[in-house]
Structure 1
Amino acid sequence: MSVTRLASWVTREFRTLAGARDGVALIEFAYSLPIMVTLGLGGLELVNYTTAHLRVNQIAISLADNASRAKQEVVGSNPRFRELDANESIRAAQLQGGNLNLKANGRVVLSSLEVNGDGGQWIHWQRCGGDKSYPSRYGAEGEGETGTSFAGMGAGTRMVQAEPRFAIMYAEVFYDYQPVVFRGLIPEQTIYKTAAMYVRDDRDLTNIFNPDPAATKSAC
């Protein structure tokens, strides 16, 4: 093949290549794929994070609600709240967490907010569950036993206060959130939710009871 014919052939091939459109879609897809994957996984992370907040909030509400309803009927006296009731309420919260694995990745704190002999707010008793070691953000068992300096549980406009002869079941749930994909988008953090429920019926507030067979105390 002469140089002239070779040059002519090369020119034709380049013109054919320049007019070809067969691989354009594939090339465009290759360029856009990383962006699409990033947006998709980022959306997945945001959905997972939002869902975790919602589930932890629901767990806190259920814990407070279950503890406010649980009781042992006593003939001729007010119903009692037992260590067994506290254990079952905490266990139910952990089971509700499902794949969050709340026992290993979090902590639940259940407090009985009552009124002390001086008319002040008082954390009469407190029970906890979970492998993490988060304490209540509003005080330990016995906080406010005397005096009126303890204001109640909750922050700002969400603070709650018990009324005389009534108790509030105050639930706090801590959950260590682990990002699924993007640790830079949503960092590891502790999700914290609270809920409060008045005890539904009259309850013997003398103590948290533990009749035979005795249950293990879920101490904090």
Structure 2
Amino acid sequence: MEFAICLPFLLLVTLWCVELANFILVRQQISQLALQVADNASRIGTQNNVQTQIDERQINDLFTGANLQSGSLDISRHGRIILSSLEVQPDPPKGQYIHWQRCFGTLSYASTYGVTGDGEGNSSFKGMGPTGSKVTALPGVPAMFVEIAYTYQPIISHYIAPKEPIQEIATVLVRDNRDTSGPGVNPVSGVTASQCQTSA
């Protein structure tokens, strides 16, 4: 009798623990994906004499690779990747600014830490990231700042799954002498840039 009374409660707790464990695993995968995207973004480019240039096709390929790496998470349908190039302004006041930003995924999510042009022409923009631990670029060395937002897909039920979206960030400094002149990302004929709209 006691077991029959306790069984529904024990079953619910067991299912909740399974769902929570899966949520933690997915969050770790998203964190690793953010770091991988930032690292790959710091390496892409085509060598041109002494500087490396990047273009829209390379950015799109980067996102395609990220979607493949996400596997069953299907980041293109359930998530949003925001890639920002945080740089030091070439002209005074030489503060931090977001030179360009590209996005991937259909989730409606706007950057928490800034948009293209933030900081340009002033010194009030102190970098990207949470208050107290902001990331900053170095003169001539952009920082690739990645934000990923993901809507968790439960394996059992939405009713027992955590409701908040998963949000992870990562950053890596560019590893070569990157050409940041002009728009920063060169256009390519026939290639659509992965511009950042807040909804797909």
CA distance in 2, matches of 1:194, 1:144: 20
Say which of 183, 187, 192 aligns to 1:210.
187
CA distance in 2, matches of 1:131, 1:184: 24
The alpha-carbon deviation at position 170 of structure 1 amounts to 0.3
1:120 aligns with 2:95: yes
Please, what is the CA RMSD of the aligned residues? 1.9
Query: Could you tell me which amino acid in structure 1 is paired with residue 142 of structure 2?
Result: A
Is the 1:42–1:182 contact (alpha carbons within 8 Å) kept by the matching residues of 2?
no
Aligned to 1:19: none
CA distance in 1, matches of 2:6, 2:124: 62
Is the 1:79–1:203 contact (alpha carbons within 8 Å) kept by the matching residues of 2?
yes
Query: Could you tell me which amino acid in structure 2 is paired with residue 124 of structure 1?
Result: H
Aligned to 1:219: 195
Aligned to 2:81: 108
The alpha-carbon deviation at position 32 of structure 1 amounts to 5.0
Say which of 74, 78, 97 aligns to 2:70.
97
Deviations 1:76-121 (A, max 9, x none): 2311111112111122222222222211111000000001122111
Say which of 30, 35, 44 aligns to 1:56.
30
Q: Secondary structure at the match of 1:114?
A: strand
Percent identity over paired residues:
39
Say which of 23, 26, 41 aligns to 1:67.
41
Query: Could you tell me which amino acid in structure 2 is paired with residue 208 of structure 1?
Result: V
Is the 1:178–1:188 contact (alpha carbons within 8 Å) kept by the matching residues of 2?
no
> Which is worse superposed, 97-106 or 184-193?
184-193
Equivalent residues in 2 for 1:157-172, closer than 5 Å: 157-172=132-147
The alpha-carbon deviation at position 202 of structure 1 amounts to 1.0
The alpha-carbon deviation at position 186 of structure 1 amounts to 3.7
1:39 aligns with 2:13: yes
Query: Could you tell me which amino acid in structure 1 is paired with residue 137 of structure 2?
Result: A
Pick 1 or 2: higher relative contact order, CA cutoff 8 A, min separation 6.
Answer: 2
Q: Secondary structure at the match of 1:97?
A: helix
* Structure 1 unaligned blocks of 5 or more: 1-26
Aligned to 1:141: 116
Is the 1:179–1:188 contact (alpha carbons within 8 Å) kept by the matching residues of 2?
no
Task: Give TM-score, length-normalised by structure 1.
Answer: 0.80
Is the 1:178–1:189 contact (alpha carbons within 8 Å) kept by the matching residues of 2?
no
* Structure 2 unaligned blocks of 5 or more: none
Could you say which structure has the larger radius of gyration? Answer: 1
CA distance in 1, matches of 2:27, 2:40: 20
Is the 1:102–1:175 contact (alpha carbons within 8 Å) kept by the matching residues of 2?
yes
Aligned residues: 192
